[in-house]
Amino acid sequence: MQARYRYRLEPDEVQRGMLARTFGCARVVFNDAIRCREDAYRLGVNLSPAEVQRQVITEAKARDERAWLSEVASVALVQSVRDAHRAFSNFFASVRGKRRGRKIGRPRFKSRKDNRQSFRLTRNGFSLRPNGRLYLAKVGEVRVRWSRALPSEPSSVTILREPDGGYYASFVVEVERTPLPPVDREAGVDLGITRLATIAGTTARRLEVPNPKHLSRKLRKLARLEREKARRVKGSANRAKTRHRVADLNIAGMVGNHRLARAILDVGWAQFVRLLEEKAERHGRSGAVHDRDYNAALNILAAGQAERLNAGGAPVSPSSREVQGDEAGSNPNAA
C-alpha cells in the first residue's frame, strides 16, 4: 500500500529562486491546461492528455509569451497537465455518480496570490543522493532534514512551500502491510465535540478521548500575533517575520464565524477518521461507518413499535375528545 512521508527542506537562496520559478511555471501550465479543456468541452471536442500537453507545453515554449517555460524542469510541467486531467476526470465521474465519497467540483484556476504553492516530480525528475541530499531537476541538491528513514524507494515527490515560508518534500512510497493477529474483540467509536471520541468495546470497557482543542489555542495565538504585527514598522524585517507566522496560523477564514463548523474543525474529525482508516488497512483490521442520526431515528421507531405491541392493542394515550374535555378550558390550543 502507498503512504506519504514528509520532510523539511532547507534550500539556499539560489535554489529558493529556482523553486519559485518552478512553482510559477507549474501553476501557469495547470491553468492553461484547465482553460484548454474547458474551451474544447464547450466546442464538443474531447482532447487527450497528450494533445493538451502538446498545446500548453511544446507549442507554448515556441511562443515569446511562454518561452520562459523552458527555464524549469519539463517533468514538473508534464505533471501539472496530468494533475489537471485527473481533476477533470474526478469531476466528471462525480457528476455521473461513478465516484464514491463527497462530490467533486469543477477544477478551478490556481492563483499566484495563494500562499501555498507546489509542484510534483516523478522518478526522472529527482533522486536521493548518497550524501543525504535531494536532487531536483534544474534546482540542484537540496538539504533535507531526515526525521525518519524512508521505508522504500519513492515513486514521486511533491515539493511544497507553505504559507509560513517553509519548504517541504512529500514522498510517495510503498509500505508493507503488517497484519495483526486476529482477535475476538470489537469496538464502536462515537465522534463528538465535547469529547473527540467515546469508545465502547465488547469487553464492556468504556474509553473517552478528550478534545485537544488545537484550533482554539491557534486562534488565541493568531490574535496575539496580529496585535504584534500591527505594532511592527511597515517594511521592517520583524514585521515580515510576524507576517509569515500569521500566514501559517490564519486558517479560521475557512469556516468564517460559524461556531459549529469551527468546533468540528477544532476536534479534527476528518483527520482522525482518515488516520483510523489508514491504520486499519495497514494492520488488517476492518470497520464500518454508520449514520448516527439515522440509527437514532430507527431506534426511536423500534421503541415506539415495541411500546405499542406491549400495550396489547389498547390505546396508550387519551383520545382527542378526552383532551378537549379536560384541557380545552385552560388551554385553547390543547386540542
| Domain ranges (residues) in the chain | 2-174, 187-311
**Does the structure show a pLDDT above 50 at 330?**
no
Give the model's pLDDT for residue 201.
78
Give the model's pLDDT for residue 68.
96
> Is the model more confident about 320 or about 6?
6
Alpha carbon distance, N-terminus to C-terminus of the chain: 64
Band of pLDDT at residue 322, cut at 50, 70 and 90: very low
Distances (CA, A) of 135 to 118, 124, 140, 228, 258: 16, 11, 5, 39, 45
Per-residue pLDDT tens over the stretch 275-298: 788 888 888 787 777 766 667 676
**DSSP code of residue 151:** S
Q: How many CA atoms lie within 13 A of 214 on its CB side?
A: 10
Within 8 A by CB and 6+ apart from 293, the residues are none
Q: Give the Cα separation of 18 and 141 in Å (integer).
A: 12
Strand order in the sheet with 2-10: 117-122, 156-161, 167-174, 2-10, 140-145, 134-136, 126-128
Per-residue pLDDT tens over the stretch 205-252: 788 888 777 667 777 887 888 888 888 888 888 887 787 777 776 554
Per-residue pLDDT tens over the stretch 143-193: 999 999 999 999 999 999 988 789 999 999 998 888 888 888 888 888 777
Give the model's pLDDT for residue 66.
94
Buried b (16+ CB within 10 A) or exposed e, 233-254: eeeeeebeebbebbbbbbeeee
Give the model's pLDDT for residue 318.
52
DSSP assignments along 71-85, one per residue = GS-HHHHHHHHHHHH
> Is the model more confident about 275 or about 317?
275
**DSSP code of residue 22:** H
- Share the mean pLDDT of the chain: 81
Asked if 91 and 104 count as a contact pair (C-beta separation under 8 A), the reply is: yes
Band of pLDDT at residue 302, cut at 50, 70 and 90: confident
| pTM (global) more than 0.85 | no
Give the model's pLDDT for residue 295.
74
% of the chain surpassing 70 pLDDT = 81
Band of pLDDT at residue 131, cut at 50, 70 and 90: very high
Average pLDDT of 22-42?
93
Band of pLDDT at residue 256, cut at 50, 70 and 90: very low
Give the model's pLDDT for residue 328.
44
**Across the strands, what pairs with 189?**
199
Band of pLDDT at residue 335, cut at 50, 70 and 90: very low
**Does the structure show a pLDDT above 60 at 261?**
no
**Does the structure show a pLDDT above 80 at 59?**
yes
| Least-confidence region, from 85-94, 107-116, 271-280, 326-335 | 326-335
Band of pLDDT at residue 203, cut at 50, 70 and 90: confident
% of the chain surpassing 90 pLDDT = 37
Give the model's pLDDT for residue 84.
92
**Does the structure show a pLDDT above 80 at 45?**
yes
> Is the model more confident about 314 or about 194?
194
Question: What region does 126 belong to: left with phi over 0, alpha with psi -120 to 50, or beta?
Answer: beta
